[in-house]
Structures are given as C-alpha cells and as structure tokens.
Amino acid sequence: MSHIGQDSASLPLTHQKRLGILCILLGVLGLTLMDAMVKWVSGTFPLHEVTFVRSIVAIAITLAIVPFEGSYSILRTRRPGLHFARGLLLVIANFCFFTAVASMQLAEATAIFFLAPLFITALSVPFLGERVGLRRWLAVMVGLLGMVLMLRPGQGVLDWVALLPVGAALAYAMMQIITRRLGATDRASSMAFYVQIFFVLISAAIGLAVGDGRFAGTGHPSLEFLFRAWVMPSGWDAVLLLGIGILIGFGAYLLSQAYRVAQPAVVAPFEYAALPLSLFWGFMIFGHWPDATAMAGMSLIVGGGLYVFYRETMQGRQIAVRRLLSRNR
C-alpha cells in the first residue's frame, strides 16, 4: 500500500506496469463483487439508501487514504465545475446500471456497459478534437452490433430496462472525457472524494423525496428498487451494506490509481476482467448464465472495445516515434 501513494514518476517503468495492472485487477474484483451484492439487496432496500450508506463508508475510506498521498490539502480544487459535472454523470451512470441490474442478469448488464470505451472513442472527436480512423470506427460499429444482438429488437423481448446499461455507458463515457481534463491537476483521492460527496447529496435528496414509499408497489423489480421505502438495516443486512461501501471505497480508488501509476494503454484492457468475473458471480450467487445470443453479443462488444484499445496504443506509439525523430533532426 505504501507504493500506491508515491508519485508514478519515481517508480521504475516495469514496476509502474505491474502496480497498475495489480491495482486495476483488484479494483475490478472488488467492484464486480459489489455489483453482485447490490443486486442481492435490490429486493430489500431502495437504491437511494444503498447509495447513501455506500458513499458515507467510501468517504471515510478516502479520508483515511489521503494521508498516504500527502496531506488533506490535495482535496482542494480549482475546478469545482468539472467535479460537479463529473459527479452528476457518474450518479446517472450508477443509477442507470443498478436499476437495470435489479431486473437483468449481471453479466449481460456488465457487457452492455462495456460500450463505454467505444462511446469514449466516438465522443473524443467532438469534445477533445481527436482524430479517429476508419478501423476504430469499424470497431465501434462492431460493438454496437453486439449491443443490438443483446437487446434483440423485433423478438418481442426488448424491455426498457435493457436500455439502461446503454445510458449508463454513455454517461460514464462522458464522465471519462471530463476525467481526462481533470486528472491533469487533481489526485485520484480528490476525484473520489468529490464524487462520493455528490452521491451522498443526491441519494439523500431522492430519499427525502420518495423515501416514504409513496411510489412503490408497481411490482417491477427495477421500479421497486428505485421507489421502495427506506428500510432500517439490521444484522446481516447491515453487514452487507457496510461491505458494499468498503468495496466501492477501495475499488474506485484502486481503479483511479491504476490509471495514475501506469499508462492507460497498459491497464485499460484489464478492465474487461469484469465480464468473466460478472459471469462467475452471476452463476455462483444467482444461478444465471447467458444464452448463446447474449454470449455472441458480449463477444462483439468486448472484441470491439479491445480493438479500440489496441489501435489507440499503436497510434500513440507512432506519434511518440514521430516526435522523437523530429527532435533528432
């Protein structure tokens, strides 16, 4: 843990890569387990209560980690507007994803959410001014084809809930565009702290608005998860909610640190470990296993995303070589 707080420039390159990969794998492991636990409690507690408790615990963990990165002064920011926009988008992404998970298989929702890297590629053109070649656009189209396979329009099984992970992926992609700008000036713990503060405020506001259960009773698992009345946890339920908070606190921090200590091209593909882990948790805990059509759609989404990472890595190397040659002229 002591290495995580160090500046990435002080670590050997090979150590940077290993530490980044370790951080992202541990972070993904924790976050996929948290997803499964949220799905487990979705039949008992409302989403706003789970989010509120989770974020309170995550804030405590973040404040405990901050001294290892320096001091509490790193929580100061000169860009509150970007933190606000980032927090709002991440709240939207989380609420869309977990509302879907209450009704969908965990692995299917996770696979559709992995449209996010493809959306990031598309959004980088208008928002960051980046150039995207034909091959990467084809990869985006392959991923979208995988999404269509999983949504199965025209077969009479398309539920509005299946569109929620698409919305979550789009919101998450927009959030990552903002993170690219914010990450140049703010630490991982600073970004995690403000996001969790935003989660607390939003979930508290939703709880005050609908926490009495006045809109509950629809019978739909996702709508019930949104509008169920606040329930006072006790015993094992309290342990589960505490565990969810611990997992999001450390998981989100580890993912942020992975991108801080290693290059995104090195660590980003390892985020796809979330899909086999979601398959594992879904089968072991809920007895779910996607059918052949869903598996085909997952393969196309993952394949498109991994190819985008590959092309971005190759393009980055070519740019670096051209810059080196131009300096030596």
pLDDT on residue 209: 93
> 313 lies in a domain?
yes
> 210 lies in a domain?
yes
- The one-letter amino acid code at 30 reads G
- Helix, strand, coil tally for the chain in percent (to 5): 80, 0, 20
> 1 lies in a domain?
no
Summarize the confidence of residues 138-151 as an average pLDDT.
89
Domain that holds residue 157: 8-327
Q: Which DSSP letter does residue 284 get? A: I
Q: Contact at 8 Å (CB) between 24 and 258?
A: yes
Whether 131 shows a pLDDT value over 80: the answer reads: no
Can you give the C-alpha Rg of the chain in angstroms?
Answer: 20
Say how many residues make up the chain: 329
Q: Is 161 helix (H, G, I), strand (E, B) or coil?
A: helix
220: tokens are: 């739909």
Reported confidence tier of residue 4, pLDDT bands at 50, 70, 90: very low
> 3 lies in a domain?
no
More confidently predicted of 255 and 27 = 27
Task: Name which of 248, 191, 243, 251 is nearest 27 in CA terms.
Answer: 251
> 259 lies in a domain?
yes
> 196 lies in a domain?
yes
> 2 lies in a domain?
no
Reported confidence tier of residue 94, pLDDT bands at 50, 70, 90: very high
Q: Which residues have a Cβ under 8 Å from the Cβ of 105 and sit 6 or more positions away? A: 282, 286, 288, 290, 294
- How far, in Å, CA of 59 to CA of 275, rounded? 27
Number of domains in the chain: 1
Q: Contact at 8 Å (CB) between 136 and 294?
A: no
> For the whole prediction, is pTM greater than 0.75?
yes
pLDDT on residue 249: 86
> 265 lies in a domain?
yes
Tell me which residue has tokens 């598996």. Answer: 295
pLDDT digits (tens, 9 = 90+) for 169-217: 999 888 877 877 776 667 767 777 888 898 999 999 999 999 999 999 8
Q: Which residues have a Cβ under 8 Å from the Cβ of 236 and sit 6 or more positions away? A: none
pLDDT digits (tens, 9 = 90+) for 211-223: 999 999 888 999 9
